[in-house]
Structure 1
Amino acid sequence: MAHKSYAKSIDLPPEQFFRNLKNAKRFAIDIGGSLAKVSYSSDWQRRAPVVYDEPDSEGPIYNVSEKEETMVRLHFVKFETKYIESCLDFILANLIDSKEFIRDKIIKVTGGGAYKYKDLITRKLGVQVDKEDEIECLICGCNFLLKNIPDEAFVYQRHGNPDYSFQGVDQDVFPYLLVNIGSGVSLVKVESDNKFERIGGTSTGGGTFWGLGCLLTQAKSFDELLELAEAGDHRSVDMLVKDIYGGDYSNLGLQADVIASSFGKATRLDGESFRKEDIVRSLLFCISNDIGQIAYLQARLHKLTKIYFGGYFIRGHPLTMHTIAFAINYWSKGEIQALFLRHEGYLGAVGAFLKGAEEEDAEKYSWGENMAGSSGLASPKSSFTEINHQDPGFFAHGFDMLEIDRLDRPVMACPLLLDPSSYVPDTVDLMHDKDAREYWLKCFADSVDKTVALAIKSQSEEEDVEERAKKFKDKYLAKILTLSTNPCAYGSLTVRSLLDTSSQCLAEFNFPDPYSQQKQQENETALKQLPAHLTLLDSQSGKDLHLSIAKGLLAGNVFDWGAQEVRKLLEAGNFSFMDAQEKLQDRPWLIDDFDSWYKRMEQEPRYQCAAIFCDNSGADIILGVIPFARHLLSMGTQVILCANSRPTLNDVTYSELVFLVKRVADLCPQIKAAQDQGRLVVRESGQGSPCLDLRFIDEALRTEMLERGADLIILEGMGRAVHTNLHAAFACDALKVAVLKNRWLANRLGGDMFSVMFKFERSRHVISPEVT
């Protein structure tokens, strides 16, 4: 009977529900009274490009093949607790080798159900159950998400524009107050990963709302109560200040619409009946306001300025978040904001998993949300009944998912940032800027077919390539459709996030590097042109040489397959490096700090070390960046060439650049000498994006910057210097160089196609106003 009910409730194919369950390695479960959350890790197989040397000097610069790469992915799935027995049956039936899995295994279980369902889990799966403290798991999970998931925390403002204000990555998590609202409420002061204490609570929580609501309205479920509250008007039930005083009570600073007595008007029935919608809304306000006041008082008592709210009672429900946020703002007089979490429902499950997985220690690795496999926040503009249907990743019956990928290497904030805590990578916030949002969403939607064609071409020999390409297209367009109606669904909406989501969706369907062949061809062409280009530069000196090197860097940056209007030129064929130079805007450029940069180079001591974040393959890296780096080396400056760790668009990757520099060294004695002496090194950035988020660079690169005393950072290309970091402030000198290859963006910045940005900023430079 249980299995029959289960099948009816969650009739979902395995690949959409428990993804990659057959390769699950470890499980943990958080069992609440209403919802259970299963967490598990899997070995996720995906293709990855492998770059290797080509011994034949007459052949390609390097060869590229693909291998199966094993990734560790954490999966988190919610379902109704009443179906736990059938869910356990489902898990066991779909494991690739259930007998091997359960041998000598221990499963971590937390939540109230850890006691109630311990024997059931042992009987069904044949494993030992370790019960973990619920509060410890909540804190462990909360700390993990705040440190690893960008835009995990947000402020909610009902009817705001936008409704959500995301907080980025908290560089200084502690201390904070966690208010967990389940059946009751617990308030926990968190001072570090290992130091926290429950400092208070109340029995008036989600269970109170649910129980009283059902008694008062005969509603059958929590969701039904929330739906009723959305349609209600509490003013017909609650007694307001104006009902007592006829208006404001100015002597006490009480406005007329403030609730003076919850359910106060129920004392004046006089045969009058109240709508159940109004009753439930009043009840929601009553409980939420009290929780908000208690949280504020505890925060003030313990001198805490950050309050995070989570638990089943929240569930991303707009009216609930609004009420709590209003209460905190009211009582603190605007000094404290209520903070909510995108994945608050998974805190306990994350914590339970981490407690049973020492080798998955968050201190050993870095993690990133897999946008291709995670569900988004429901739109605050939707009615509650629409929430479960507005996002293809947010399944019927309340099933939503979170997936987190483990990165190969640790990442940390760039040490050259002036203030990492205030750093915002993105130049334009598409949540606030409606015109920009509409343009870029359409731009990326229109480019999908080109990406699909390229993906198919890159694996044309594969039988299922068209099917996988179609799945990529469907998933990415579904994400864009969601964002067109709910820009806040996946955290901050920026050009960077749209590009990153595309790359993750491509990787999801085993298209790791669709531009691989194109990059190889362009690298070979540019390498043949390099000796003549270096000879021309060596014939110049002084300001002419510096200008030629700068123009070469700019001309190389024109070769960008990610820019639609440039792609048309490249697809037409015969577009040369000389053609790119002629396309450049004449001086004065749109942003022209060349003279200031030249003066610094000529009149002040040499830079100790320059870190250059490279952009595209082909002419960009070989004819633009390499000569620029060579000139810095000739002046006595060490150079770190920083390339993406993972492929995206036609950007040069670390593994490709290693071989490119080796081949350049065979052609250029200066480059060879610098490489042999260790003055020129190639390092991976830790990134896999056309943009650059300096909150997350490779830890080894960070260390090298510090050890070499990097005092110049060079950001090259639209993704790294315009879409991101245009306003970033650095503790060292910074050179931001790009050619604007998108007409809409160029016009927005006051220029035209092929306008030039050559922006030189001295250390601690005052940030210019944001682009509007």
Structure 2
Amino acid sequence: MKSQTSAVESEDKFERIGGSSIGGGTFWGLGALLTKTKRFDELLQLASKGQHSSVDMLVKDIYGGSYGYLGLTGDLIASSFGKSATADKEFSKEDMAKSLLHMISNDIGQLACLYAKLHNLSRVYFGGFFIRGHPVTMHTITYSINFFTKGEVQALFLRHEGYLGAIGAFLKGAEEDNPNQYSWGENYAGSSGLMSVSPDMNPMQRARSGTFDMLEMDRLERQLVNLPLLQDPSSYIPDTVDLIEDAQAREYWLYCFEEALDGVVKRAVASQPDIPEAAERAEKFRQKYRHKLQTLRHQPFAYGSLTVRSLLDTREHCLNEFNFPDPYSKIKERENDIALKYYQKAVKSLEELSWEDRQFALVRGVLAGNVFDWGAKAVSEVLESNPEFGFEEAKRRLEERPWLIDSFDQWLERLKGPPHRCALFFVDNSGVDIILGVMPFVRELLSRGTEVVLASNSGPALNDVTNSELQILTERIAAMDPVIESALREDSLTLIQSGSSSPCLDLSRLDKVLAMVVRERQTDLVIIEGMGRAIHTNYYAMLSCESLKMAVIKNSWLADRLGGKLFSVVFKFLPSCVFGHH
């Protein structure tokens, strides 16, 4: 146990990482002798199919049932391999491997408990090649820890446990290379402690039993940091629902992503019409992503955390792996061109309204623009079947007030007060959303004397607008709108990449330049738009300044769960003085 044990200290806690390399060695050595198995993975495979009760002597084998006087259940192991000492018969390799796995895992669990009690710890972290994402091992160790400590100590498992030494060595060397210049992001396409997809689907994969080719990290060129306006960065969790804990939500979303797969494949092929092998690559993408979804159905913890965000990001990473970096590029270009033609007319009609009516129309415009989301099945089907589906029709689809979550009256009252110094606006989709929804809203803020920072994706995801695309779009709008032109010239309208390439938003991993600008401009309003950024993530995010979250729910199941219906509206304004539950 000590061979891979290291201590981690902080101001008020001392925790120990319990390694299990000795357990792995013992399991492998004895297992090879007992089963004549040549490979470690084969031994684990045998154990997963075995019944330990055929080999182990249980409490009920001795007492005929449970032993209530000592609080021992009938199924508890009284003696590992106990039946092999008394029964004159052959035992299957599978049963012996399972019995051995239980014996070693229980031993590790007991040793860990003794360490935990010695140091008064409530959590033990396990790592090592013996565990590496193997569900039966993790389950047995967890059971052992719970049994020996009566639930007082929690067993936790490191996600890439086989790489601790390598990562430590790398980080030590990286100190000489100024690591503060960049950050790292996990690449879900090839990242797992489990075995990856078969080699015929990915010819680059080495055909061997180990999983050392599984951990993939992308070096990001810029450093990612917390949004300075997070009220408590240490307790911030981006995701609204944990799909490991919520079985009903997990089943729905896995089904939803599998159902949408054909459409994504079709879109990927259509984005590269002149490349003959695009269809073949798209098929490989389909197989790989479907395999990941099926794995997660049976083992939700397989890739660590499981959320709608991680499912979306995994899909983007898999598309990138098979060289489909931006499947929606053609759609975005077409929708941008169409929306730009209506921009001046939209602005003119807003200017003709009274101040109060205009504030409502601007909000309604952002919400209607947010309907144009190719990531939502209900919308993509409408857009696919009716390319002429327009802004006015989207407004008619919106829920009438009172909305599902409706803080519009409070927002209107706030606008009657002094203007905000600076608004940080996390934008969502290309086309109608950014051009006819967001830009008129931004224009109004600028007219009030508020500086605006538009934060958009660094890289493509679905039909979300990227920073490079937004730069071009804003220049085109400035050419026909003096308000936008003057704001760009005077630097009161700034466009900065968020550091994200996801349809969702993690406010603890934002581009360092964006964080710096937020501080310098004394930002006092954060606006988050869209279902991915404001509902799947950040629904409960607490900020130290005023915040506005706007989204249209374009998924029937999610709408139902939140107590609404399709195209229900979330308009959540929170003043800076409110620090309670959102």
Normalised by the size of structure 1, how large is the TM-score? Answer: 0.66
Indicate the residue corresponding to 1:14 in structure 2: none
The 1:557/1:207 distance shift into structure 2, 3 A limit, reads: closer
Q: Equivalents in 1 of 2:579, 2:494: separation in Å?
A: 28
Q: Assess if the C-alpha contact under 8 Å between 1:354 and 1:360 holds in 2.
A: no
* Structure 1 residue 654 displacement after superposition: 0.6
Indicate the residue corresponding to 1:324 in structure 2: 141
Match of 1:671, SS? helix
The 1:582/1:264 distance shift into structure 2, 3 A limit, reads: closer
Q: Assess if the C-alpha contact under 8 Å between 2:110 and 2:148 holds in 1.
A: yes
The 1:555/1:289 distance shift into structure 2, 3 A limit, reads: same
* Structure 1 residue 627 displacement after superposition: 1.7
* Structure 1 residue 260 displacement after superposition: 5.8
Does the alignment pair 1:585 with 2:403? no
* Structure 1 residue 391 displacement after superposition: 12
Match of 1:632, SS? helix
**What letter matches 1:624 in structure 2?**
G
Does the alignment pair 1:594 with 2:412? no
Q: Equivalents in 2 of 1:714, 1:593: separation in Å?
A: 14
**What letter matches 1:739 in structure 2?**
V
TM-superposition CA deviations, 1:646-703 (whole Å, max 9, x none)? 0112111111112222333333333333333332211111111112122321122122
Q: Equivalents in 1 of 2:445, 2:103: separation in Å?
A: 66
Q: Assess if the C-alpha contact under 8 Å between 1:459 and 1:465 holds in 2.
A: yes
Q: Equivalents in 1 of 2:32, 2:381: separation in Å?
A: 63
Match of 2:559, SS? helix
Matches within 5 A, 1:732-751: 732-751=545-564
Match of 2:116, SS? helix
Indicate the residue corresponding to 2:116 in structure 1: 299
Match of 2:460, SS? coil
* Structure 1 residue 630 displacement after superposition: 2.1
* Structure 1 residue 503 displacement after superposition: 1.7
TM-superposition CA deviations, 1:704-749 (whole Å, max 9, x none)? 2223222322111111112222232333222111122233333333
The 1:363/1:529 distance shift into structure 2, 3 A limit, reads: same
Q: Equivalents in 2 of 1:752, 1:173: separation in Å?
A: 47
* Structure 1 residue 451 displacement after superposition: 3.0
* Structure 1 residue 538 displacement after superposition: 2.4
Q: Equivalents in 1 of 2:287, 2:36: separation in Å?
A: 42
Q: Assess if the C-alpha contact under 8 Å between 1:175 and 1:306 holds in 2.
A: no
Q: Equivalents in 2 of 1:369, 1:657: separation in Å?
A: 26
Indicate the residue corresponding to 2:261 in structure 1: 448
Indicate the residue corresponding to 1:717 in structure 2: 530
TM-superposition CA deviations, 1:607-657 (whole Å, max 9, x none)? 332211101112211221112122222333322111000011211111111
The 1:285/1:737 distance shift into structure 2, 3 A limit, reads: same
The 1:580/1:228 distance shift into structure 2, 3 A limit, reads: closer
Q: Assess if the C-alpha contact under 8 Å between 2:59 and 2:65 holds in 1.
A: no
TM-superposition CA deviations, 1:310-348 (whole Å, max 9, x none)? 223223333322232223333444333111123212223
Indicate the residue corresponding to 1:96 in structure 2: none
Which of 51, 59, 62 does residue 232 from structure 1 map onto? 51
Indicate the residue corresponding to 2:167 in structure 1: 350
Q: Equivalents in 2 of 1:173, 1:344: separation in Å?
A: 25
Which of 433, 453, 464 does residue 640 from structure 1 map onto? 453
The 1:594/1:464 distance shift into structure 2, 3 A limit, reads: same
Indicate the residue corresponding to 1:752 in structure 2: 565
Indicate the residue corresponding to 1:209 in structure 2: 27
Indicate the residue corresponding to 2:323 in structure 1: 510
Match of 1:672, SS? helix
**What letter matches 1:207 in structure 2?**
G
Does the alignment pair 1:398 with 2:209? yes
Match of 1:573, SS? coil
The 1:347/1:370 distance shift into structure 2, 3 A limit, reads: same
Q: Equivalents in 2 of 1:334, 1:451: separation in Å?
A: 45
Matches within 5 A, 1:427-506: 427-506=240-319
The 1:474/1:172 distance shift into structure 2, 3 A limit, reads: farther
Match of 1:373, SS? coil
Which of 166, 178, 196 does residue 17 from structure 2 map onto? 178
Does the alignment pair 1:334 with 2:145? no
Match of 1:639, SS? strand
Indicate the residue corresponding to 2:517 in structure 1: 704
Q: Equivalents in 1 of 2:273, 2:525: separation in Å?
A: 44
Match of 2:416, SS? helix
Q: Equivalents in 2 of 1:530, 1:275: separation in Å?
A: 77
**What letter matches 1:762 in structure 2?**
P
Matches within 5 A, 1:187-202: none
**What letter matches 2:456 in structure 1?**
A
Does the alignment pair 1:611 with 2:424? yes
Indicate the residue corresponding to 2:224 in structure 1: 411
The 1:548/1:707 distance shift into structure 2, 3 A limit, reads: same
Q: Equivalents in 2 of 1:209, 1:664: separation in Å?
A: 67
Match of 1:402, SS? coil
Indicate the residue corresponding to 2:183 in structure 1: 366
* Structure 1 residue 544 displacement after superposition: 1.5
The 1:481/1:324 distance shift into structure 2, 3 A limit, reads: closer
Q: Assess if the C-alpha contact under 8 Å between 2:132 and 2:194 holds in 1.
A: no
Indicate the residue corresponding to 2:194 in structure 1: 377
The 1:705/1:332 distance shift into structure 2, 3 A limit, reads: farther
Q: Assess if the C-alpha contact under 8 Å between 2:59 and 2:73 holds in 1.
A: no
Match of 2:403, SS? coil
Match of 1:398, SS? coil
**What letter matches 1:741 in structure 2?**
K
Q: Equivalents in 2 of 1:722, 1:397: separation in Å?
A: 42
**What letter matches 1:698 in structure 2?**
D
* Structure 1 residue 457 displacement after superposition: 3.2
Segments of structure 2 that go 5 or more residues without pairing to the other structure are none
Match of 2:550, SS? strand
* Structure 1 residue 238 displacement after superposition: 4.4
Q: Equivalents in 1 of 2:276, 2:35: separation in Å?
A: 58
Q: Equivalents in 1 of 2:379, 2:82: separation in Å?
A: 67
Match of 1:686, SS? coil
Q: Could you tell me the percent identity over the aligned residues? A: 53
Q: Equivalents in 2 of 1:315, 1:503: separation in Å?
A: 25
The 1:173/1:446 distance shift into structure 2, 3 A limit, reads: farther
* Structure 1 residue 214 displacement after superposition: 4.9
Aligned-residue CA RMSD (Å): 3.6
Q: Equivalents in 2 of 1:218, 1:527: separation in Å?
A: 71
The 1:669/1:345 distance shift into structure 2, 3 A limit, reads: same
* Structure 1 residue 308 displacement after superposition: 1.8
Q: Assess if the C-alpha contact under 8 Å between 1:527 and 1:622 holds in 2.
A: yes
Q: Equivalents in 2 of 1:340, 1:248: separation in Å?
A: 32
* Structure 1 residue 581 displacement after superposition: 1.7
Indicate the residue corresponding to 2:494 in structure 1: 681
Q: Equivalents in 1 of 2:60, 2:458: separation in Å?
A: 61
Q: Assess if the C-alpha contact under 8 Å between 1:728 and 1:767 holds in 2.
A: no
Indicate the residue corresponding to 1:311 in structure 2: 128
* Structure 1 residue 410 displacement after superposition: 1.4
**What letter matches 2:134 in structure 1?**
H
Indicate the residue corresponding to 1:761 in structure 2: 574
Match of 2:215, SS? strand
Which of 354, 360, 363 does residue 550 from structure 1 map onto? 363
Aligned length: 571
